[in-house]
Amino acid sequence: MQVDILSSLTETQREAVTHIDGPLLMLAGPGSGKTRVVTHRIAYMLTQGINARNILALTFTNKAAEEMKLRIDRLVPGQRLWMGTFHSFCARLLRQYGNLVGLADNFSILDTKDSKKAIQTAIDEARLDLSHASLDTIIWEISNAKSNLRTSEEYERESGSKFSGVSEITRQVYPVYEKFLLRSNAVDFDDLLLHVAVMLRDHPELRHDLDQRYKYIMVDEYQDTNLAQYAIVRALSLSDQNLSVTGDPDQSIYAWRGASISNILEFEKDYPEARVVRLEQNYRSSKRILNAADLLISNNKQRKQKVLFTENDEGEPVKLVCFPHPNDEADAIAARIASEVQRGKRSLRDYAIFYRVNAFSRPLEHALMKQGIPYQVVRGLEFFQRKEVKDLLSYLQLINNPANDVAFYRVVNLPARGIGKKSLEHVINHAQRYQLTMLEACREAGLIEALSKRAATAINKFVTLVDVLTASIHQPISELLVMVVDESGYGDFVDAQDAKADEDRRGNVDELINAAREFEREMEESSLESFLEHVALVSDADGMDADPDRVTLMTMHAAKGLEFPSVFVVGIEHGILPHERSLEDPAAEEEERRLLFVGITRAEQQLQLSYCQRRTFRGQTRIASPSQFLYELPREEMECQIPTGGLSAIGLGSLAGLGSEYELEPDFHDDGHADFVEDQSQEHMQLPPEPGTSLPAGLEEITTQLQTASQLAGTAQSKLAPSAYQTGMLVSHAEYGSGVILAITGKGPKRTATVRFMDQEERKFRLAFAPLTRVDHADDEQSQAFTQD
DNA sequence: TATTATCCAATTTTT
DNA sequence: TTGGATAATA
């Protein structure tokens, strides 16, 4: 057995696998067989007599957990160890010890939508004024605080001195939201981690017990842990420092969600005893693909140097292609897939198409459909997000946890049963006055004077409905669901809608009931509570590995951890990848580069990168320019189908010092783009970029010059980086016309310009957001002539 | 109170 | 272009 486990490994891999005691850091490049090492390591531990119940393996996705469980079971069958996501592990702990942080064991887990509702409700109840901050910003701020282990009190204390609109308002919203959650006996995703971290911090005995229990801890994708996760792991590995973490700093693509890459970068500082093992040999990609990835990522400053190598073949050249428009891009890809599959070269499941934003799937889907090519779009949560499903689940939530006000609000008048806004307001007042949950308050509907007879009756009926359903709480979930559908009138409601609008919502209802049946069959413990936890923490994308023979479409984020023989990455354009919202911040920009790195390293044999010259987005067609990342690739060994003059005809190529190397290849006209060279040169020479399409710093100036020269119109304008605006500069605003900058104050996103316009009015603008464009020797009428499409 | 109109904003999203 | 969230109306 033991021999089996070790014999198939390389020297380095074996080193990692056999290191059991003491901290271990595994730096695993893409395709380096990391999962293999991790699973073999656990298997090895088990054969060494370590008790499975002392092992805790934490992953980020259910998929990863499932995969590993399966593989371990193949090596060492029948062992039961805890392998799961951080969130499900925390949920389990909280079911047991949640009372320490004020949670009853039937607490609800709110998904992002629910928590948004909850925040909104909390804001309304407290009658807070959001003033200038948007709800989304506040949600983000709270989530961030939680990920960084800052409870509402701590947030209040620490941001007290800061003068910022967002933290100002968040300071008020955060505690109100927290109270709302506790009152509702509910947690959001971030809370799962935060509560556990706080619990471990404040209860040393419990921490100690759990530390003893989980003697061997393993964390996958450690580069994606946030501070809360870090603290949890740390707290559980104090007495026994048998902590092994795996990850790759170059694949950290979730910093925007609070992951702190420093956790992995500084592991050796945290655990000076740590053994470090580097898995650098790649078993996945061809030499050329790996080389492209390596060269790209070497442009990042924030990283651990690492040598990637492979003994795989040289492989086909990586392709870099420019298309006139996303429709052409999509058509060409579909055509190539169709022809290769037809020739029997590959099957559909070998192909994946990656993009930066979900919206880009559209032209691709269109083209694939036209060609009759089966495909699947991987989108995180589809099914459980649908209205009908959420509605019914809310009934279940309310039955399971009567304090769950979010669920209450969702279903109280669904289908309509005469409990309107006015009536609810009265109930809310009552609830607030006597510190009741909404359902409790409803039970006292008769006592609320402001309520009309009719409203009170309706409310009483609703309460009875909930009570009747609650009586069946121990029935199998599918049966309970059927009861909900029938008794609540929701079924009829949906049927009526379907009949009217020719939809199939009923189908979704049935699908949910099926999902419940499935759950009952598969899980040994199928309580209502566990079902609700399951649907909250397990997205349906996890289950879709059924491996049908289809082309796969997904974002690069979703692609992490996967591999495909042939990969297309589309829309590698400036402002898309890197995304425009990452342009101001070098760290964010490096993350975008890592994202492309992840995309590229998914490919085994074929890789095609592409960008377009124009892109229709949100109904508007705009000029697009190639991403700066494309200049960082090993052009010499790639096959480029790009227009004369470089990556873009404007001359950006020469700026990057690559100039003539980027000439159009002779075979370029092959697939029906014959007219496209002239086409683009015209476009680029005559149209200035849209005001909204900012170019990379530096490039921008050149473009401006070229346009100016070619047009002799004497006018050019462009949106600048906030730092580029200066006092005295002439600017233009779509609404107010042109003006002059009188003063500039503030820093970063708060950098603000005071502008005096022609009408003598002075207005202030945040430069990061302001629709201001710089005007070069031109008056406002001329400059506006170019802002139209 | 329920449907319809209008306006607004818009990455990525393991859980 | 699209979805979601208010506002206006029957």
User: Hey, what are A482's tokens?
Assistant: 């059927």
Q: pLDDT confidence of A493, banded at 50, 70, 90?
A: confident
Nearest residue: Cα versus C1' of C2? A618
Residue A3 CA distance to nucleotide C4 C1' (Å)? 59
Q: Which nucleotide is nearest to A140 (CA to C1')?
A: B13
Q: Which residues contact A755 (CB under 8 A, 6 or more apart)?
A: A731, A733, A736, A739, A740, A741, A742, A762, A763, A764, A765, A772
Give me the helices (H) in A524-569, please. Answer: 528-537, 556-559
- Residues contacting nucleic strand C by the 7 Å CB criterion are A 116, 120, 618-620
Q: Has residue A37 got a pLDDT over 50?
A: yes
CA distance linking residue A511 with residue A515, whole number of Å: 6
Residues in chain A, how many?
A: 789
Q: Which nucleotide is nearest to A619 (CA to C1')?
A: C1
Which pTM does this prediction carry?
A: 0.81
Nearest residue: Cα versus C1' of B2? A416
Q: pLDDT confidence of A501, banded at 50, 70, 90?
A: confident
Q: What is the DSSP string of A90-124?
A: HHHHHHHHGGGGT--TT-EEE-HHHHHHHHHHHHH
Output the average pLDDT for chain A: 83
CA distance linking residue A555 with residue A559, whole number of Å: 6
Q: Which nucleotide is nearest to A117 (CA to C1')?
A: C5
Q: pLDDT confidence of A723, banded at 50, 70, 90?
A: low
User: Hey, what are A445's tokens?
Assistant: 């509907």
**Do the strands A772-776 and A716-718 form a parallel or antiparallel pair, or are they unpaired?**
antiparallel
Q: pLDDT confidence of A502, banded at 50, 70, 90?
A: confident
User: Of residues A666 and A352, which shows the higher confidence score?
Assistant: A352
Q: CB of A537 within 8 A of CB of A87?
A: yes
- Determine the average pLDDT of the residues in A176-181: 94
List active site positions of A.
34-35, 220-221, 251, 602
Residue A628 CA distance to nucleotide C1 C1' (Å)? 27
DSSP A435: T
Q: pLDDT confidence of A394, banded at 50, 70, 90?
A: very high
Residue A551 CA distance to nucleotide B10 C1' (Å)? 28
Query: How confident is the model over A324-359, as pLDDT tens digits?
Result: 999 999 999 999 999 999 999 999 999 999 999 999
Query: How confident is the model over A62-92, as pLDDT tens digits?
Result: 888 989 999 999 999 988 889 999 999 999 9
Residue A501 CA distance to nucleotide B13 C1' (Å)? 32
Residue A39 CA distance to nucleotide C8 C1' (Å)? 61
Q: Which positions on chain C have an atom < 7 Å from some protein CB?
A: 1-2, 5-6
User: Hey, what are A578's tokens?
Assistant: 């890197």
Q: Has residue A778 got a pLDDT over 50?
A: no
Q: CB of A190 within 8 A of CB of A174?
A: no
Query: How confident is the model over A470-480, as pLDDT tens digits?
Result: 999 999 999 99
User: Hey, what are A223's tokens?
Assistant: 């580069």
Q: CB of A41 within 8 A of CB of A67?
A: no
* Nearest of A290, A108, A127 to residue A181 by alpha carbon: A108
Tokens 């760290």 -> residue: A587
Task: Name the residue type at position A785.
Answer: A
Query: How confident is the model over A542-592, as pLDDT tens digits?
Result: 555 566 899 999 999 999 999 999 999 999 999 999 999 999 899 999 999
Q: CB of A323 within 8 A of CB of A640?
A: no
CA distance linking residue A138 with residue A121, whole number of Å: 14
Name the phi and psi angles at A246, rounded to 5: -130, 140
Residue A619: predicted pLDDT = 86
Give the torsion sign (CA, A15, A20, A26, A30).
Answer: positive
- Determine the average pLDDT of the residues in A259-267: 91
User: Of residues A131 and A428, which shows the higher confidence score?
Assistant: A428
Q: Which nucleotide is nearest to A120 (CA to C1')?
A: C5
- Determine the average pLDDT of the residues in A410-438: 90
CA distance linking residue A763 with residue A739, whole number of Å: 10
Q: CB of A395 within 8 A of CB of A484?
A: yes
3-state SS string for A446-488:
HHCCCCCHHHHHHHHHHHHHHHHHHCCCCCCHHHHHHHHHHHC
CA distance linking residue A217 with residue A233, whole number of Å: 8
Query: How confident is the model over A603-644, as pLDDT tens digits?
Result: 999 999 999 999 998 888 999 999 999 999 998 999 999 887
Residue A72: predicted pLDDT = 93
* Nearest of A307, A231, A303 to residue A261 by alpha carbon: A303
With residue A541 as reference, give the H or E element that holds it. Answer: none
Residue A658: predicted pLDDT = 29
Q: Which positions on chain B have an atom < 7 Å from some protein CB?
A: 1-3, 9-15
Residue A780: predicted pLDDT = 32
Residue A659 CA distance to nucleotide B14 C1' (Å)? 41
Q: Which nucleotide is nearest to A85 (CA to C1')?
A: B15
